[in-house]
Amino acid sequence: MDIPILYADAHVVVLNKPAGLAVHPGPGGGASVEDIFASLSRRADGPWLAHRLDADTAGCLVVALRKTPLLKLQAAFAAGAVRKTYWAVVEGEVAGEAGTISAPIIKRPHWQGWAMAVDAKGQESITDWRVLGRTSGQTWLELSPRTGRTHQLRVHCAHGGWPILGDALYGTAGPGLHLLARRIVLPLDPVIDVTAPPPLAMVEALAACGRKEGLLF
């Protein structure tokens, strides 16, 4: 398996995770990001995932090669000190240019097993959004989560009335989930700032929303 590396040093690797690949094996097994761990480090312990991405989300995924940076990263994620920026193409034409969604999320049974839902009894969940481009029937958003709940961006977009394009669970099944973990800034010393290019599956929709052709990033 070949997963592109966006950044690497002796302590941390940032992968460009492809959409459709789980970060770790599920109950039934199957391919996952962890399959390449042996190629990232020959140390007796590690590597370790510093955080998670949904299987259908592409982009920046952080792997710690040593225990000390893992603990620092886990603390930074828990404290909300890691800056995460996502790109999404959503269904519908979003009104306004920017805003914040504050809607608690809870896990519920679903015909597919489980899903997350907005519920007053759920955990606090906050997402800032900004419009980057538009076309008829679709909007290109920059999403910045202040919290890190499971499926937060997917649930919040659907709650706003504009589910992410291709989201079969919270919207309409289609050409794959149009969600990219675009940028991550890790508060280490020195600071690590990494950006992921959009996957090919998103390029056409982004171009329709106004992203200029020929740009790698």
Residues annotated as part of the active site: 54
Any alpha helices (H) in the chain, and if so which ranges? 37-40, 67-78, 152-159, 200-208
Cβ neighbours, 10 Å, residue 52? 15
Length of the chain: 217
CB atoms under 10 Å from CB of 66, counted, come to 16
Distance CA 41, CA 167 (A): 35
Rounded Cα distance between 123 and 91, Å, is: 26
Return the residue matching tokens 């770790």: 24
